[in-house]
Structure 1
Amino acid sequence: MDLRKIKKLIELVKESGISELEVTTGDESIRVALQGTSPTFTPSNPAVVVNAEPSISEREQQPGQLVEAPMAGTFYCAPAPGAEPFVREGQSVSSGDILCIIESMKMMNQIESPGSGTIVQILVKDGQPIETGTPLLRIE
């Protein structure tokens, strides 16, 4: 899908007051949704970035709930450069708390905690490219 069309759809969502718009054309699909005051974009076929990561058996042996990336993009632990991170290892979180941001297609997507617990481990570095399914954090 053409970048100009995507920008036009984002503007349409902002101006119309709707919170979400999904468009399918042939084999391409795009969903634009507003979260608070900023729109988000979820690609139907995200780009794949190759990263070295622990094997599945290594991940399964460690205790706690693994939070994985729902999309490909760039991982950010803070809302802006130089700002305090959303979470730190050892910090308690509740369901729905913002854990990090994934920038995908120039859109910032907030990743929320799936449940309550304590951040045991942050598995990726700030600014690191990630792919869908990349383990981000471990919560106990």
Structure 2
Amino acid sequence: MRVLLVLLVLLVLLVQGSWAGISLSQSPRSRVLVPGQNVTFSCQASSNVFSWMNWYLRRPGQPTQLLISKASVRRTGVPDRVSGEGSGTDFRLTIRGTRPEDSGFYVCQQSHSDESHGGTAPDKNLLQGPGPRGTQTCRNPDLQEEPGP
């Protein structure tokens, strides 16, 4: 009986430790691409969130749009060229054949832990398009823009 109690306590501690304070980080921090290319954003969780990862698109003056839920479920109205994958701690959002209308902030959010529910990665990726010479810039808005040539 005592062994069972010890195992139960260890299980509770393990579950509490894995759910408490889950933090997320996104990458890449900076990337330039040509329209029509593919871009992949990565999101890493500090603890296992299984498949409970969502991807959102934020645009100034527009409501936040849920693109992908449960790591890979494309929401209604989201084009087929947008896809999500991953499980555990590593997740990816891929946009194939980028277009100017894809511009905005891409944010991952875990929905595994109630404690962190609603919390998003502090690093938001920006897909900005079209810029000089027909390029699009995908960058973290917290970084300063580097002067171009």
**TM-score in terms of structure 1 length:** 0.25
Structure number with higher relative contact order (C-alpha < 8 Å, ≥ 6 residues apart):
2
